[in-house]
Amino acid sequence: MTREVRAFAVTVLTLAALGVAAGLLWSGLTPRAPYQVTDQGTVLADPTTQALIAADGWFAVITGGLGLLCGGVAWFAGRRFMLPVLLGLCAGGVLAAFLTLWAGTTFTLGAVTVEAASIPGVKVVPGALKLTASGVLVSWPLLAVGFFGLLEGMHGYRESPLRQPYGIDPS
């Protein structure tokens, strides 16, 4: 196995492991929407609840923050294998986002409390954690690759001979 393939694989597998941990964190931090159990099934107990939007927001904050962290660490650690690490950030970020979604919706962590104005005798239960805005799935790979590119661009500019026009040495 070549070093480039190894760098790609290590990047993808590291981000995948972080994705499962991020899913557990997302499950522990996100409030659950209240649902009422009726004869027709479960219905949203409080139509004005912000819990559904909060789940999307927490997902975006957690995966976006980890994307920035991974992009920075990958740029500093992967100086010898820039392209494989960059491709690993992209593929691993997509995989990590889906693993975050899977782990967060599969496992329930943290205190699940549901408070809603309900009719006495009607059972109110916490709803399952779900993602309603699927666009936040791209926050991890987009921010990881974007921050990696920003750092590389700043480094490339600082080292560029075009920064000293006409061969003038600033020292």
Checking if the pLDDT of 34 tops 60, the result is yes
Looking at per-residue pLDDT, the higher value among 167 and 36 belongs to: 36
Contacts of 12 (CB under 8 A, 6+ apart): 88, 91, 92, 95
Most confidently modeled range among 120-124, 160-164, 167-171: 160-164
Q: Looking at residue 71, what is its pLDDT?
A: 96
Per-residue pLDDT reduced to its tens digit, 109-161: 655 555 545 555 567 666 777 888 889 999 999 999 999 999 998 888 777 77
Distance of CA 138 to the CA centre of its chain: 8
Q: What is the mean pLDDT of residues 29-45?
A: 74
3-state SS string for 26-57 = HHHHCCCCEEEEECCEEEECCCCCCHHHHHHH
Per-residue pLDDT reduced to its tens digit, 70-108: 999 999 998 889 999 999 999 999 999 999 999 998 887
Contacts of 23 (CB under 8 A, 6+ apart): 99, 100, 101, 102, 103, 104, 105, 106, 107
Instruction: Tell whether pTM > 0.75.
Output: yes
